[in-house]
Amino acid sequence: MSDVTTAPALTAKDFATDQEVRWCPGCGDFGILNAIQMALADLQLPPHRTTIFSGIGCSGKTPHFIKTYGIHTLHGRVLPFAQGAKLANPELEVIAVGGDGDGLGIGAGHLVSAGRRNVDMVYIVFNNAVYGLTKGQAAPTLKLGMKTKSLAQPNVNNSVNPIALALVAGFTFLARGYSYDVRHLKELIKKAVAHNGLAFIDVLQPCPTYNDINTKEWFQGLDNIDPKEGKAMPRMYKLEETGYDGEVHTPDEINQKMSQVIEKSNEWGNKIPIGIFYQNEHIPTYQERIIARIPDYMENPPALQQIADNEGKTVTSIDKLLADLQVIK
């Protein structure tokens, strides 16, 4: 008889911490948190090999509630931290999360730079169109002219299309989910993790405290009644149920696929698509680009390299570097 024992399968509860989850009642963050935990369990990702990074905002507390490694970073800077960890230790499964203000406002420059690199990781944006942590100012995704209850005047700025911005930046997996469709969002996260490259998920969610326009009831279509049947017509529809195909099968399809992403991602109002808009694994990842220059990168990444001796003293000498920098008189 074998003495080998099999560890029990991980469940979503195994990815929950003992911290009290504190968001406003009805906040979409709860659904996103549950979807992430369920996806990690379905994928059986070892907690010690998984890291959740967050920026600043209501979504910033997410790593506190997921039982993996977690890093709560700076406003708009979640992507540099997350990419650095993934490149230092490519065996880690890295998921970055942040709000639409965090990632598409102050962090927009980092989003564009991340797209150019195509590091193999996932970035999830919690999109409620307001700065919920600081009393509901207009975030980059709030439509021009909209006036939520927290604004003194209608929004004076045009809105950002997160999917289109991530596309032109260079992200190679683009999806949109809805926080109240947790199981569908869970599947999107699983596919994003499995993707070989940089994945972006824009998650639409209500903010019951400050956004009184894009509410749960609005997404459900309770104000959008079918005149024939007298029933509410939900605004969300799933791309996969329409025959839409966002996968780039051959490189010569890239331009055509990108064009359809722009068209679909601009749909709004009574019909809002969710699902996978684009997937392109023909673009080399940043790790693959590094391997082309440093063949043993995966076997000897920075995280495995010795930087100090047993006494904590550095083993790196910069004497030669300093000598080379000396000015010859």
pTM of structure: 0.93
CA-to-CA dists, residue 8 to 5, 14, 40, angstroms: 9, 11, 15
pLDDT above 70 (res 8): yes
> Taking residues 279-305, what's their average pLDDT?
96
- C-alpha 206: how far from chain center: 17
Question: Which pLDDT does position 1 carry in this prediction?
Answer: 45
Q: What one-character-per-residue DSSP string does 269-312 give?
A: SS-EEEEEEEE---SPPHHHHHHHH-TTTTTS-GGGS--B-TTS
Give helix 108-117 / helix 78-88 axis angle, nearest 10°: 30
Under 8 Å between Cβ of 107 and 77: yes
Residue showing tokens 């010795």 = 306
Could you tell me the pLDDT band of residue 135, with boundaries at 50, 70 and 90?
Answer: confident
CA-to-CA dists, residue 305 to 282, 292, 297, 315, angstroms: 31, 19, 11, 10
Amino acid at 9: A
- Cα(144)–Cα(154) distance, integer angstroms: 8
Question: Which pLDDT does position 4 carry in this prediction?
Answer: 53
CA-to-CA dists, residue 275 to 35, 39, 40, 237, 265, angstroms: 14, 16, 19, 9, 11
> Taking residues 189-207, what's their average pLDDT?
98
> Taking residues 277-304, what's their average pLDDT?
96
| Rg for the chain, CA atoms, rounded | 22
Nearest to 284 by CA among 274, 292, 276: 292
Amino acid at 63: P
Domain 12-298 has what CATH class? Answer: alpha beta
> How many residues belong to the chain?
329
What is the percent of the chain where pLDDT is above 70? 97
> Taking residues 186-208, what's their average pLDDT?
98
Under 8 Å between Cβ of 166 and 174: yes
- Cα(33)–Cα(25) distance, integer angstroms: 14
pLDDT digits (tens, 9 = 90+) for 150-164: 899 999 999 999 999
Question: Which pLDDT does position 83 carry in this prediction?
Answer: 98
Map residue 243 onto helix, strand or coil: coil
